[in-house]
A and B are shown apart, each in its own frame.
Chain A
Amino acid sequence: MENLYPPIVDGKSVYDLDSQKYLKMWQGPQHPGVTGNMSLELDISGDQVVKCKAHVGYLHRGFEKLMERRRYINCFPIVCRICVPEPDTNEYLFAAAMEDLLGLDIPERAKWLRTLNLELSRLASFVMWLGGQSGAFGMGTVAQWCLAHRDYVLDLFEEWTGARIYHMYMTPGGVRGGLPEGWDAHAEKVLDGIYKLLDEIRHVMFNNAIFKQRAKGLGVITPDMFDRFGIVGPNVRGSGSTRDIRKDTPYLIYDQLDFEAVTEQGGDVYARAKVRWREVYQSIDLIRQILKNMPRKGPLHITLPNVLHLKVPAGETYVRAESTRGEYGYYMVSDGSEYPRKVTVRGPSYTHAMALLEHLAVGVNTADVAGLMVSLHTYPPEIER
């Protein structure tokens, strides 16, 4: 069987593409096997991928251009639209970059509430990812459970901030409001439900012989690839690394919380799924810690001058946070006027979905490309912005 397939040397197939004995197949943009609106151009010999090219740009809106011609506070409603399933990281980082340039320090209570918001959105994103990963390998049941439970998390967001998807909660200088009465009890109920769900996912997904057989050994990331491809987040933690920005360079109040970076050995799809599954446990634990320890009284917001005419001092800064996909960063340049000179978003999907996926997909069975793609956890809206 082995010699049926073209040999792979140094991550690239040496198949003769001029021989015409291959098939070109487009996976996406209108295809159930891609995450979001992007496409993969696959060259296939038999059922093995010999070449993969990722095409992005279907969701390009030109955010960096739009932000140049909006005032700082007007940028605020649009930044959360950059990443649809996990918008809060964008809000936090935009606010944090602005506060860094202005030299502001936000109240203690606002820091706790921001952390709670970030962790809750991480939880929602991870739960949806677990559904996506199992769905990509043909287990629709887990996908249904996960999406239903994510909806309860969205209900918590709605009760707290007024919106299900785009919360626009962390404004520059603080947060918009405190927790409503009785929210803790609702949150505890939802977290309890997800806690039970995770145990069922362990039975159905991680102990499933088919999932094990397909996911183990698929798309292996080795430690020498980390920096060559710029891999961050759970994708490196699945290969034995302990890089976690919340732990390494703590922001907000992450240094007051008790947690360890989740890490697994193996570096394949199975290990990455395991990392994310354990991170949901970690998120639940962190949310419980925050709710237990957070201050319930105090100011939520510092007083800013008229934000419509707020001039930010000239300078440039870079802030980063750990999203579900890894390092998310905002690079902001100000020229001292009311408009930002340049805001660049460093999304982790950018490198994962392009350079890394094109490298990992070579030699993979066609049916596993969808699972491999989901396991890198890419969200196309943040690739092209």
Chain B
Amino acid sequence: MSDIEQKDKPATQPEWVKDERTLTNSALPSEEQDWFCDARPRRVEKHWQVLENFMNWARAHSLWILAFGTGCGAIEMRPLVTARYDISRLGMQMRPTPRQASVFVIGGYVSLKTLKRIVRSYEQMQGPKFVVAVCSCAINGGMYWDSYNTIKRIDEYIPVDVYVTGCMPRPEAVLAGFNLLKKLIREGKAEGQNLYADKFDWYKANQKQVIKDWNMPDYNW
């Protein structure tokens, strides 16, 4: 990189931002730098509109949820898979690994230790991916607004498509949230993944501000 380009950069740019296309993974030791890819997340390019409509319709009808109970909201996810609420009829099911999942349900309060795992799991999910924030605590801190160990709003760390309020929200409310998500996807408005790619540096700076021991790659994919 030449000196002129260096000067053009704003002075406040964090050191791990190399340029628009690559990362330095600054927390990793130099021998590990080579093992991890330094690419940033990219926007998903839109197809021809008719094809895009068809693909959105298809996406909305097969949403697979990552089975990661991050807080107390996980207890109301379990009835959803039983015969009474039966999310299978909506084309949804629980998947054990982020590689197969497309919906991340943040169930409840997020403590700092969990936030690190959430970021990692979210980045490992393959696109198109969507986030549903369930419970008040994930939205504004809820009951734990003065706790030293829980973050107060999850949307500063990963992009959220649908919020479901309540403590705890009933399974019907969660189902309504999923239906809203499907509607948004069909209309092509669930753009959380592209938002993450666009504002990647902002999200990363927020994450690094609270996660003090950052010892993983900057983008885990």
Contact = CB atoms under 8 A, between A and B. Distances in A.
User: Do these two chains really belong together in a complex?
Assistant: yes
Nearest to A132: B78
Given A62-B147, A62-B149, A30 B75 contact: no
A30 B144 contact: no
A85 interface: yes
A59 interface: yes
B96 A32 contact: yes
B147 A29 contact: no
Contacts of A61: 109, 111, 144, 147, 149-150
Contact of B167 (A59, A62, A66, A166): A166
A61 B149 CA distance: 6
Interface in B109-144: 109, 111, 113-114, 117, 121, 143-144
A31 B67 CA distance: 7
A165 B68 CA distance: 19
A183 interface: no
Interface stretch (A143-151, A216-224, A236-244, A262-270): A143-151
Interface string B146-173: 1111100000000000000001101000
A84 interface: yes
A58 B117 contact: yes
Contact of B113 (A58, A150, A154, A165): A58
Nearest to A164: B170
A202 interface: no
A37 interface: yes
Contacts of A24: none
Contacts of B149: 60-62
A81 interface: yes
A30 B168 contact: no
Best-buried of B81, B113, B114, B121 by chain A (most CB within 10 Å): B113
Contact of B75 (A57, A58, A60, A84): A84
B82 interface: yes
Contacts of A60: 111, 113, 149
Given A61-B109, A66-B147, A29 B72 contact: no
A32 B97 CA distance: 9
A55 to B, nearest CB: 9
Nearest to A84: B72
Nearest to B76: A165
B114 A165 contact: no
B106 to A, nearest CB: 12
Interface string A79-100: 0010011000000000000000
B143 A81 contact: yes
A59 B111 contact: yes
B37 interface: no
Contacts of A107: none
A66 B141 CA distance: 13
B201 to A, nearest CB: 26
Nearest to A165: B168
8 contacts: A30-B67, A30-B117, A31-B96, A61-B144, A62-B147, A69-B146, A128-B78, A165-B72
Rank and list the top 3 A-B pairs by shortest CB-CB distance, nearest first.
A30-B68, A84-B72, A148-B82
